[in-house]
Amino acid sequence: MKTIVRTKDLLDNFNLELVAGEEGIHREITTSDISRPGIEMTGYFDYYPKERLQLIGRTEMTYFLGLSLEQQADRMAKLCTDITPGIVITRGMAIPQVMIDAANNSGVPILHSPRKTTRVISRLTNYLEVKFAPFTAIHGVLVDIYGVGVLITGQSGVGKSETALELVKRGHRLVADDSVEIRQEDYDTLIGNSPPLIEHLLEIRGLGIINVMTLFGAGAVRSHKKISLIINLENWDSKKQYDRLGLDEEKMKIMDVELPVVTIPVRPGRNLAVIIEVASMNFRLKRMGVNAAEEFSERLTNMIVQEKGQE
């Protein structure tokens, strides 16, 4: 599903004032890149990225005001193309009439901001990058456990939602059940959230739909969370060899990001909520440089070496 962002969305979400070019507020923004048309102010338009949002700060404005009126009109006519989504002018600077006239004639919105240029670029870029981030949806449950975003996956009916309910009862926070919407907000960052239709809801077979926030309070849910660990639940297979030390590290790739995966076999009598809690704490320990499996392997190696030396 393609995300459509229009110039009007910037007006609705930021402290911006529409000064000119009202006809163009519904123009589509197609990229998160923002251009500062410094070299274009000199008259060089060979590589002008006209599809980007244009941002004029103090440097560009000072140079522009030093041009003749004919040059100013020429530069603005070339800046305001039929696909340019808008021009943002920062620092609350006065806007010359030649800019306003060019924007009105071409239908390119001029947006006025009182903020510093670097602040405006940062906030607009972050907003647009989130909007244009790669997107997918995965069947599973996302829970915030001790600050670790844990995505619980597995076949339908294996017990994902029931485990999530037990985790919520133990003080952890539900992000999404059944369907997890995932955006790649950076080259190594995945953010998960719930579709609006089922936000804060859990489906428990035999009970039906329950509202976690209503039952357990606002502290039992959160709207989104960075995904750090995947727990895959699968029915116990007596013929399969499961990792008993924790030395083998599986990975799962979602879009461009590889995440560690822990496979937990499910059978009666196993407390999955406690096991997942411990897996999350163990993951945090590994990130802090403490790896119990590697320590055990090292102790075992040292013991073997010592015994061989005594022979």
Annotated binding site: 154-161, 203
241-256 residues labelled b (16+ CB within 10 A) or e (exposed): eeeeebeeeeeeebee
As a whole number of Å, the CA-based R_g of the chain is 27
Write out the binding residues for ATP. 154-161
Which is the catalytic residue, given 178, 224, 226, 286?
Answer: 178
Write out the binding residues for Mg(2+). 161, 203
Active site residue 160: yes
Active site residue 200: no
Active site residue 244: yes
Which is the catalytic residue, given 2, 244, 253, 308?
Answer: 244
Q: What are 181's strand-pairing partners?
A: 137, 193
Q: CA neighbours within 13 Å on the CB side: how many for 182?
A: 27
Which is the catalytic residue, given 58, 119, 139, 170?
Answer: 139
Active site residue 178: yes
Burial (CB < 10 A; 0-12, 13-18, 19+), residue 192, is buried
8/24 Cα distance (integer angstroms): 9
Which is the catalytic residue, given 160, 172, 183, 200?
Answer: 160
- Cα four-point dihedral sign 194, 197, 203, 207: positive
DSSP string, 193-234: E--GGGTTEEEETTTEEEEHHHHH-GGGB-SEEE--EEEEEE
Catalytic residues: 139, 160, 178, 244
